Amino acid sequence: TAEMKDDLVNTVLNTHPNDLGFIGNVWTCPLLATYIYQNYGIKYSVEYIRVLLKRSNLSYKRAQRKPTKANKAEQEVFKKNATPSLYCRKFF
C-alpha cells in the first residue's frame, strides 16, 4: 500500500537499523524485508524491496565485504589456506 511504501522510505531516510533493534548500521534489502514483515506481517522478496527503493528515487548499492576490518588472526589463517594443493585449482 502507499502507507507501507511511505513508511519504508521514511524509515530508510530517517532511522538506522540499530534504532529499531536490528544488527547493523546501514539498511540492507534483507533488513528492510524483515522490518516490513515485523510491522505489517507481509513477506516481500529482497528484489521487490530493491525495486521499491529505485522507484522512490533512492539509490541502492549492494554491500561489499571489507577484509581490512576482519580479525587479524582470521586473516592469517586464511592466508595459510590460500596456497594451492593437489585437490584444488592452482593460481595462475
- What sign for the dihedral angle of Cα 38, 42, 46, 48? negative
Q: Which residues have C-beta within 8 Å of that of residue 46, sequence separation ≥ 6?
A: 29, 30, 33
Per-domain residue ranges of the chain: 2-55
> Which residue, 3, 10, 11, is CA-closest to 42?
3
Q: What is the pTM of this model?
A: 0.61
Q: State the number of CA atoms in the 13 A half-sphere of 11 facing the CB.
A: 24
Rg of the chain, C-alpha, whole Å: 19
- Residue spans of the chain under pLDDT 50: none
pLDDT per residue as tens digits for the range 11-26: 888 888 888 888 878 8
